[in-house]
A = this chain, B = another copy of it.
Amino acid sequence: MNNTFSHNPPRGMRDFYPEDMRLRDRIFSAWRQASEISGFEAYDSCVVESLDTLKRKSGEEITEQIYTFIDKSGRELALRPEMTPTLARMIAAKQNSLSLPLKWYTIAQCFRYERMTKGRKREHYQWNLDIIGEESTLAEAEIISTAIYALQQLGFTHETVRVHYNSRMLLSDLLIKTGIPPEYHRMTFLALDKLGKMEISEIKKMLCEGGLSENLSSKVLQLMEIKSLEDAANIAGNDAASIQILNEFQNYLSIYGISPFLKFDISVIRGLSYYTGIVFECFDIKREFRAIFGGGRYDNLLAEMGGKKAGGVGMGFGDVVISEIISALHANDQKTPPQKCAIAISYMSEEQKPVAIKIALHYRKEKIITDLALHCEKARNFFSRAGTKQFTHAIYIGPDDVQKGTIRIKNLLNRTEIESPINNPVSVKL
């Protein structure tokens, strides 16, 4: 026995005790239900990916942060930092048998070796929605409405969260009107993505070092002062394809009834270089936390992985930020009321054990959560123990109960009690 032995998980990684799992399950259930109701199909792959696949397509920042290792046969492997390269690999592998468009979802653990700050760990779970092989902006609307559905399941409304959207195609049109040729756009996007994270002077420096003149760099930064889609349309021109696509997108949002959740925001760029069209990020309305989810349209992803050219829209929604927001919101709440019945059963002495087992089996057959004490205990200990867990009902069996042939079922929520025959226990309800 060594008392200096650490009982902590590795740095930046999380243990989930039962009380932590309750929130995680609530989030995962909302994600899963939203995906399934909207007709997304589940896929998954191993958290270990070949480094080659990850290097082939990854955001610029990510590659340095990958956890890599070499297996016993000398293979270069890695813990995936995101799911998109794997998704592209899986689709490319079956591109001749899969019929597009695909609507796929996954909940995947992803790893990044980075400094830990609020809303960032070295691992997190990320819900991904992707629609591959669809040009219509209905794809963007489906993905955003599915993410909003999940947030609604978790109790959020348009008064507590907001999806900010923009378009890289629009930004390109605006940059061209400003006199910046296409070959500078990718660099410009990556610099502009630092808005709010770096000083304006530093961003300007990045633009200049990227090849723009002092004057053009200033003009680029002026574009960031555009406040509305109308203002943007006045510069880009109402006949610009980017504006027409955004108008169509807004029309879909209105049919979906989710316009109040959305807001045009010229400063939304996204860090990854593979986005080519509409991009979006969801925040808590007070902007106290990092982005809740984000994504956008990519048109060349599959081709870069050696697949056919097929456009798509993707979204990533991590579990860390949303957990922090929910915990902060509910910090002062009462214990959340139980969603389903859960019965605790115990007994005074070993003689009542067989009866207790039979009652437990009866309720389990009815698919009711039933915890059975594994050894006899005092009534006081049992009720105090049952009170600290998520039980709705408690049954304590003593020798008198067995003799009388009845049991008393305590409802722990409303403090009532009913009597029931021991051989055919009555059903319980919330």
Name the B residues within 8 Å of A46 (CB-CB): 9-10, 13-15, 109, 123
- Residue numbers in B under 8 Å from A25 (CB-CB): 42
CA distance A412 to B9 in the complex (A): 51
Query: Is A104 in contact with chain B by the CB < 8 A criterion?
Result: yes
Residue of B whose beta carbon sits closest to that of A37? B364
The contact string, 1 if C-beta is below 8 Å from chain B, for chain A 16-27, is 111001001100
Stretch of A72-80, A197-205, A238-246 on the interface side: A72-80
- In the assembly, what is the distance between CA of A90 and CA of B71, in Å? 28
Mark A residues whose CB is within 8 Å of B: 1-3, 5-11, 13-18, 21, 24-25, 33, 36-39, 41-50, 52-53, 56, 67-73, 75, 77, 79, 86, 89-90, 92-94, 99, 101, 103-104, 109, 111, 113, 123, 131, 134-136, 138-139, 142, 149, 252, 255-257, 303-306, 342, 344, 353-354, 357-358, 361, 364, 367-372, 374-375, 385
Provide the main secondary structure of the chain A interface.
mixed
With contacts A7-B306, A16-B44 known, is A369 near B89, CB below 8 A?
Answer: no
Contact indicator B255/A52 (Cβ below 8 Å): no
Asked if B17 and A94 make an inter-chain contact with CB atoms under 8 angstroms apart, the answer reads: yes
Q: Contacts of A1 on B, CB cut-off 8 Å?
A: 303-304, 306
Among residues of B, the one whose C-beta sits closest to the C-beta of A89 is B7
Least Cβ–Cβ distance between A351 and chain B, in angstroms: 13
- Taking CB atoms, residues of chain B closer than 8 Å to A374 are 101, 131, 134, 136, 138-139, 142
